[in-house]
Amino acid sequence: MSFAKGHRAGYLLVQRPDIVVATYDRSEFAIENRGLLDELRRALPFIEPASYRGLSRAPVDAEQLTSLRTACNGAAPEGEIGDDDVIETLELASFLRGLMPYPDTLEVIYVESGEVTTTHETLGYDVGYWTGDHFSLIADVAVTPLWHPPSPDAFADVAEHLLALNEQVLFPDYAEASRYRSFYRAQDWAETEFDEDQFRIVRVALPA
């Protein structure tokens, strides 16, 4: 699913942000770390976690998407489903959403990485993994911290670098996202890239 060298684009089927945050707040990790989590959120009063519209919202994985389409016996719209969980067409993404047990808990977003185009209305820019669990450097730091949350002594620096986030809890442009990626890479508490450019800047947009 590539329009040009280094360019990746398509649609993800993800949970609504309010459901993601409500599920996280009920998790064992959040309950056990409630004090630190509350302290972090006090340090980031400009962020409303349930407004996050980025990648890290439990995307439906390729195996489940493929199973749903196979069960339709050829009735599904045309389009590829990538190993990265990205669906080629909006028609197929919307169709598969309708087959899910609770479609109203899900939404379709358009995502692209590499060469930035002007298609679709931009919500903002996330930073993270294009594949795998679509780990986000924004979400894991400030929305649903789990794997590599910032240390308390870094809360003030984190706040300074996240001030640029928009109402969708995403960066307003590529440059701001790039600055944050550079900051994150320098932190000793952060996730480490296993491959060069594993932390990709991803434009997130409305599906149509």
CA torsion sign for 64, 68, 73, 78 is negative
Alpha carbon distance 74, 72 (integer Å): 6
Output the tens digit of pLDDT for each of the chain's 208 residues. Answer: 333 447 899 999 999 999 999 999 999 999 999 999 999 999 999 999 999 999 999 999 999 999 999 999 889 999 999 999 999 999 999 999 999 999 999 999 999 998 788 889 999 999 999 998 899 999 999 999 999 999 999 999 999 999 999 999 999 999 999 999 999 999 999 999 988 789 999 999 999 8
Helix (H) or strand (E) holding 146: none
pTM of the predicted model as reported, rounded to 2 decimal places? 0.94
HEC letters along the chain: CCCCCCCEEEEEEEECHHHHHHHHHCCHHHHHCHHHHHHHHHHCCCCCHHHCCCCCCCCCCHHHHHHHHHHCCCCCCCCCECCCCCECCHHHHHHHHHHCCCHHHEEEEEEEECCCCCCCCEEEEEEECCCCCCCECCHHHHHCCCCCCCCHHHHHHHHHHHCCCCCCCCECCHHHHHHHHHHHHCCCCCCCCCCCCCCEEEEEECCC
User: Residues 6 or more apart from 193 whose CB is under 8 A from it?
Assistant: 185, 199
